[in-house]
A and B are shown apart, each in its own frame.
Chain A
Amino acid sequence: MIMLVQAGHAQQQETIDPGTIMPDDSVELENRIRSEKFDKILPRVMRDNNIDMWIHIMRSWTPDPLRFGLGARSGVFIFTDRGEGRIERAAFGGGVRDPKVYDIVVEEGMERESGGNAFKDGIPVEQPDTTSELDIRFVGLKEFVVERDPKRIGVNYMDDLATASSSENASLTDGISYKDYNLLIEALGEKYAQRVCSAEHLIMDYLAGRVMEEIELSAQFGVIAAANLDREFGKVVPGVTKLSDLEGNVFLRVPEGREIHAGDSKPYVLKGGDLFTILHGAGNQIFHSDLGGNAYILREGETEAPPEIKEVWKHAMTVREILKDNIKAGRTAGDTLNLLVRKIEEAGYYYNPIDNYDKSADPEKTQIHLDCHAIARSGLVGPRISPLGPDWVRDMKIPLLHTFTFEYMVHMPVPKWGKGKHLYIAFHDGAVVTEDGVVFPYKPDQGIRLIK
């Protein structure tokens, strides 16, 4: 049986079938999002980065972060700011999923990785009259570029950003290969080659940009994530259920601070007095939403949460308000982090840059750790209000409609248990930055669940 500490009501118990809320035609939705981003995000990020032509080379053997955004797995894509309200969009490649979003689609020419294939669509492929496929990679590129005479050409290679480090895994790549770079430079000729620069910042900004359709998906998947959490917490039988029986990212921290995780080799059976956390999520190829929840297992004889459990929730809600009040569009993530740290400290908390209880800090103060990272389809790409990750994710400005996890951790000392002993809860709510500030497209954690 589950109740909530200081919460209105429990979330729905039944699992919601994703199919019931997903549009039947997800391709149509994907195309709409792509089109909206071309219309609303692309002009802004190109102009913000002072790039009037963006050449993006995508090869099938590299998991390019813009496969979804450009609607292709390979090809050469050229976006040109020709001074009108919109950006000209050209795709050179045969596999564009949604040709309608492009002004120019050329299926033959530059995008010829299939050279050498015996068959394509069951038809024998005419073999190029060249000794090497490399000779035909950028056929016609120079003429195209010269005609548009760009001043600054962004190309997808890395220059000063770290690569995958905005996420714990792979979200960005190095960009084009050494060979592609050299071929491109040769193809452009000296005049235009000198105008080439890395498009890395533009790419980051484009990936971080959101449109309303994505926010709606965020809300839809957030509801599913909430249902998933309810389902998992509902499985718990004290003294029987192991952490590893529960789906999601499941963990608890003992009062000394050691973390016990569902993935540990030694199974841990949940028991009265445990305070534990589950992070869950839901999503598809377009968007992913996360949600976290915390639960306390009542000891025998307990009918309500003990005071310290109520107190840690109270602190968590104070911090939630601080975050809500101070995360705004237009500020960099780093500036926001500094501001939040100050506000958190002004509110009497100890800001901890590491998610481990700091025994050297004031033993009376509750410690707060922050990691408000982006969330969407492409991992953690975007501004990150956090001490983690490379500096450049903190240098990014928070854009309007920034979707992020409202992730923070509360380490509350419980002096009566002994020095350094504390309670720990974690939050992983979904949030969006709007003109009116932070809003939650789906309900954030509603309270510490009580399990009998």
Chain B
Amino acid sequence: MNKVRIVFAFFCMLFLVQESDAQTRNPEAMPGISPAYYGMFSSSNPYATVDMLDHIRREKFDLILPRVMREHEIDMWIHVIRPWTWSGNEHRRLEHLNLNYSNIDSTDPLRYEFGSNAAVLVFTDRGGDRIERVVYEGEVTDAGAYDIVNGQSPFINQENYEIMDYVKKNPDKVPESEMGYRFMGLGEFVAERDPKRIGVNYAEELSLAEGSETYTLALTDGISYADHLHLTKALGDKYAKRMVSAEHMILDYLSRRVISEIVLFGISDLDRTERGFPDIELGVTTLGDLRGGYVRHADGSETDDRDYVIQGGDLVGMGINYVLRKGETGPSPEVEKLWEETLRVREILRENLRVGPTAGEMCDLLARKLEEAGFIYIDRDQYDINAGDPEKTQVHLDMHAMGKGVLAPRISPMGPRWHWDIKIPLLHTWAVEYMVHMPVPEWGPGQHLYTCIHDDAVITERGMEYPNPPFNEIQLIR
């Protein structure tokens, strides 16, 4: 019997549910992409068609790759993605969050950029405008984006009869273990191109790009110790010495956008911007009936219990979604004031966000501007009763990257510090995420109203622009 088929059947059985779910929802989109990592490329996004995703990949190869390689003085980039970075385990771990994690796949941060969950990829700067793109070993979804695609090695799992044939024909060239097959011939390939600095996907000084509330990831540690060892052997002493970590280059490659990404980023969230709530029945309707969300109370406590019964006066979820009390026909004066404060913060952001400064510098600048405008800047998303003037509204910032996970640069007090050291690039896509805690002194000390704004934005030469409608009004829930 065909051994590969046996295992295929086994894994089909294991992952039947998640696979079928993803495929029926949107067969066009590339599996393995989820909003947690790559919102704009999600398989649930009807605009993320194969054509569009391929186009973005090729645009990035053409426009971003030469630039980041040259900026980092790397003339060869070897990126190793191993098949066992995929397991479906992430899906199983996160499924209880009721999010679209159904097709989480490889954990390699570049699986989309390269269109592969398992490959050895080599990019070489051979001069001219473009970078040579080679799939040295492995399979990719978009072979046309590459100059050479060697395909999967028949020896990759020592399960095929090909390896038995090879051993018979080449008794003197049999590696001691499968590890030796991994980079077979790579030394010659590299020597032919004679790179001066070879970037390889291992971590050196950056911490993981964890800065995500979902505890997913954007960067990994990169290749294993064993892979590094065998890659070193395969390259030989001369070229092994030229290996450097590609981590900064990878980060730049992930962070920079082409215009087609902006198009997709903008259009992807249109569904979300169609805001509105069904009519509710006070004392009966629950958060679950409103498809979840949360309510933060005047004392700062928060509930996201789906069984929580909505009360008049509640503010539900992101934006200002106000639940009318009995007899009310519009928002209360305090809520109207909260909205005004929210818009004032937005203006401060619009006036100051621009290309060039690091995220940390921008965070400091915004904190100062907020203070100058009469707000209190807080580095935690919790009302600080000891922050000073109890009349002042407190503002928290967490403007993280969007579209490819919570990556750098991050204009926020949260996340690894190197997220703050990254300069804000042109076409940076991010979340205009800020939280406004407005005290209501007549309710008592520390009592306040709270809102969280989370709009999509892009940095252009003109500054901050919205690719789709931001929160523009108070939503009333009746």
- Give A contacts to B, CB under 8 Å: 59-63, 67, 73, 113-120, 122, 124, 127, 130-134, 157-165, 167-170, 172-181, 248-249, 251, 259, 261, 263, 277, 279, 281, 288, 353-355, 371, 387-390, 392, 409, 426
Asked whether, in the complex, the Cβ of B2 is within 8 Å of the Cβ of A251, the reply is yes
Asked whether, in the complex, the Cβ of B381 is within 8 Å of the Cβ of A178, the reply is no
Asked whether, in the complex, the Cβ of B225 is within 8 Å of the Cβ of A180, the reply is yes
From residue B5, how far is it (CB to closest CB) to chain A in Å? 6
From residue B342, how far is it (CB to closest CB) to chain A in Å? 20
- Chain B residue contacts of A251, Cβ below 8 A: 1-2, 5
| Cα distance A353–B86 in the bound complex, in angstroms | 31
Count of chain A to chain B residue pairs whose CB atoms are closer than 8 Å in the complex? 202
| Cα distance A165–B83 in the bound complex, in angstroms | 12
Given contacts A173-B224, A177-B224, A353-B164, contact A261 B5 (CB under 8 A): yes
Apart from the given pairs A178-B202, A178-B227, 8 other A-B contacts in the complex at a CB distance below 8 Å: A117-B215, A118-B415, A124-B382, A158-B224, A162-B178, A163-B84, A169-B7, A279-B1
Say yes or no for B286: interface residue by CB 8 A criterion. no
| Chain B 20-35 interface mask (CB, 8 Å, partner A; 1/0) | 0000000000000000
Given contacts A179-B202, A279-B6, contact A114 B225 (CB under 8 A): no
- Give B contacts to A, CB under 8 Å: 1-11, 13, 82-87, 89, 93, 107, 157-159, 161, 164, 176-179, 202-213, 215, 217, 220-228, 302, 304, 380-382, 398, 413-419
| Cα distance A117–B211 in the bound complex, in angstroms | 5
Question: Can you name the residue of chain B whose Cβ is closest to the Cβ of A67?
Answer: B89
| Cα distance A249–B7 in the bound complex, in angstroms | 9
| Cα distance A221–B212 in the bound complex, in angstroms | 40
| Cα distance A157–B89 in the bound complex, in angstroms | 21
Give the secondary structure class of B's interface.
loop
- The 5 A-B residue pairs whose C-beta atoms are closest, nearest first, are A162-B178, A174-B224, A133-B207, A63-B87, A177-B221
Residue among A122, A131, A249 having the largest count of chain B Cβ atoms under 10 Å: A249
Contact among A61, A130, A390 for B178, CB-based, below 8 A: A390
From residue A35, how far is it (CB to closest CB) to chain B in Å? 22
Given contacts A113-B210, A116-B207, A132-B206, contact A61 B9 (CB under 8 A): no
| Cα distance A73–B86 in the bound complex, in angstroms | 14
Residue among B2, B161, B225, B417 having the largest count of chain A Cβ atoms under 10 Å: B225
Asked whether, in the complex, the Cβ of A157 is within 8 Å of the Cβ of B211, the reply is no
- Chain A residue contacts of B415, Cβ below 8 A: 116, 118
- Chain B residue contacts of A73, Cβ below 8 A: 89, 93
| Cα distance A355–B3 in the bound complex, in angstroms | 10
Asked whether, in the complex, the Cβ of A157 is within 8 Å of the Cβ of B221, the reply is no
- Chain B residue contacts of A168, Cβ below 8 A: 3-4, 6-7, 157, 159
| Cα distance A354–B162 in the bound complex, in angstroms | 11
Question: Can you name the residue of chain A whose Cβ is closest to the Cβ of B177?
Answer: A162
Asked whether, in the complex, the Cβ of A63 is within 8 Å of the Cβ of B205, the reply is no
Given contacts A248-B9, A390-B177, A392-B177, contact A174 B226 (CB under 8 A): yes
Residue among B210, B212, B415 having the largest count of chain A Cβ atoms under 10 Å: B210
- Chain A residue contacts of B417, Cβ below 8 A: 130-132
| Cα distance A392–B158 in the bound complex, in angstroms | 12
Asked whether, in the complex, the Cβ of B9 is within 8 Å of the Cβ of A115, the reply is no
Residue among A67, A116, A177 having the largest count of chain B Cβ atoms under 10 Å: A116
17 intermolecular pairs with C-beta atoms under 8 Å apart: A59-B220, A62-B220, A113-B210, A117-B212, A118-B398, A133-B416, A134-B203, A157-B225, A160-B176, A163-B82, A163-B179, A165-B178, A167-B157, A177-B224, A251-B2, A288-B10, A390-B158
| Cα distance A11–B414 in the bound complex, in angstroms | 61
- Chain B residue contacts of A173, Cβ below 8 A: 82, 84, 224
Asked whether, in the complex, the Cβ of B207 is within 8 Å of the Cβ of A169, the reply is no
- Chain A residue contacts of B203, Cβ below 8 A: 134, 177-179
Asked whether, in the complex, the Cβ of B1 is within 8 Å of the Cβ of A174, the reply is no
Contact among B2, B210, B224 for A259, CB-based, below 8 A: B2
From residue B210, how far is it (CB to closest CB) to chain A in Å? 4
Contact among B177, B210, B225 for A116, CB-based, below 8 A: B210
Given contacts A118-B398, A177-B225, A178-B223, contact A162 B10 (CB under 8 A): no
- Chain B residue contacts of A114, Cβ below 8 A: 210, 215
- Chain A residue contacts of B221, Cβ below 8 A: 59, 61, 177-180
| Cα distance A114–B83 in the bound complex, in angstroms | 25
- Chain A residue contacts of B382, Cβ below 8 A: 124
Asked whether, in the complex, the Cβ of A354 is within 8 Å of the Cβ of B164, the reply is yes
Asked whether, in the complex, the Cβ of B84 is within 8 Å of the Cβ of A170, the reply is yes
- Chain B residue contacts of A132, Cβ below 8 A: 205-207, 416-418
| Cα distance A133–B415 in the bound complex, in angstroms | 10
Asked whether, in the complex, the Cβ of B1 is within 8 Å of the Cβ of A355, the reply is yes
| Cα distance A268–B293 in the bound complex, in angstroms | 51
Asked whether, in the complex, the Cβ of A249 is within 8 Å of the Cβ of B6, the reply is yes
Asked whether, in the complex, the Cβ of A387 is within 8 Å of the Cβ of B164, the reply is yes
| Cα distance A169–B3 in the bound complex, in angstroms | 11
Asked whether, in the complex, the Cβ of A167 is within 8 Å of the Cβ of B202, the reply is no
Question: Can you name the residue of chain B whose Cβ is closest to the Cβ of A126?
Answer: B380
